Amino acid sequence: MTSTVICRSAALLLLLLVPSSLATNAKILIYSATADFRHDSIPTAVQALQSNGPSFDIQFENTEDKAQFTDQTLAQYDALLFLDNTGEVLDDPAKVAFQNYLNLGGNFIAIHAASDCLRNTTFYGHEVGAFFDYHPALQNATVDVIDNSHPSTSMLPAQWHVQDEMYNFKSDPRTIGATMILSANESSYTDTGTHLDQGIPHPTAWFQERGAGVEGDALAGRSFYTSLGHLNETWQDDLFLAHVFGGITWTLQSNTTLAFNSSAQVGNPLASTSSTTSPSGTSTSPALSSS
């Protein structure tokens, strides 16, 4: 059996066996609106998240309607997940509601092109960690695991061979307190562009124990970002899904939302810290879809 098969088998075991102890009736809103380039893998990604969510006791709902960004609506979720967003995908009232949600302990997850939206919104740049700059052509590359103790990397080989876009960023996410967990191995692919000061080693995925997008001394949830996830095929790969769900479940364990903390100010109001049964109800809003 090859090392790749072993890794994928381990990833599948993680998906099936570990999740029930990580999250309790958590509810996550996937926001996949785009204003510029649109990835054709977005429907595949949404389907992968929603179909695997019940294994983790997570209910995913999906919207591309910025009107859903109100204090009342966002307060129902234990995390917001920005998926492949590009351009100005929120108006000013929606940004205010987003900021309020983060200030109340809301958690944040961002995947792939989500670092390329709301480019002039400072709190968003801090919450995601860094804004996208450019990427070389899609190609085979090696990603080095910097920290294999994190739930999003513990199943990965030390050198993870992928076909994806190796993102470059406009700043170093470590300057706002992010911890690096994956790094693009620059010797493994071709990039003829000019890097800005994004730090060394090359940032590819990271986390923030306290999301830097909160205002002042407000309560901060966790933040997780991975720049991988370009292709439809990537979202059908067990190892990649284990990486993503490891990041999601880690983020939910911030203890700042109702999935784990009955005193929290945001999160699924139906969540129970003693129950392991996922909620069966779906949203009544026509702008939201759930698994």
Q: What percent of the chain has pLDDT over 70?
A: 85
Residue 172 near residue 165, CB atoms below 8 Å: no
- pLDDT (mean) for 223-247: 98
> What's residue 266's pLDDT?
98
Helix axes 238-252, 3-17, angle to 10 degrees: 40
- pLDDT (mean) for 242-253: 98
> What's residue 10's pLDDT?
52
Give yes or no for residue 2 having a pLDDT over 70. no
Q: How far apart (Å, rounded) are the C-alpha atoms in residues 10 and 238?
A: 9
> What's residue 248's pLDDT?
98
Q: What is the pLDDT of residues 254-289, one digit of tens each?
A: 999 999 999 999 999 988 544 433 333 333 333 455
Give yes or no for residue 14 having a pLDDT over 80. no
Q: Are strands 116-117 and 86-87 parallel, antiparallel or unpaired?
A: parallel
pTM for the model stands at: 0.89
Q: pLDDT class for 66, splitting at 50, 70, 90?
A: very high
Q: Return mean pLDDT, the chain.
A: 89
> What's residue 271's pLDDT?
80
Q: Which fold has domain 3-269?
A: Rossmann fold (3.40.50)
- How distant is the alpha carbon of residue 19 from its chain centre? 16
For residue 257, which of 3, 11, 60, 27 has the smallest C-alpha distance?
A: 27
Q: What is the pLDDT of residues 164-173, one digit of tens each?
A: 999 999 999 9
- pLDDT (mean) for 39-51: 98
Q: What is the pLDDT of residues 211-225, one digit of tens each?
A: 999 999 999 999 999
Q: pLDDT class for 24, splitting at 50, 70, 90?
A: low
- pLDDT (mean) for 134-153: 97
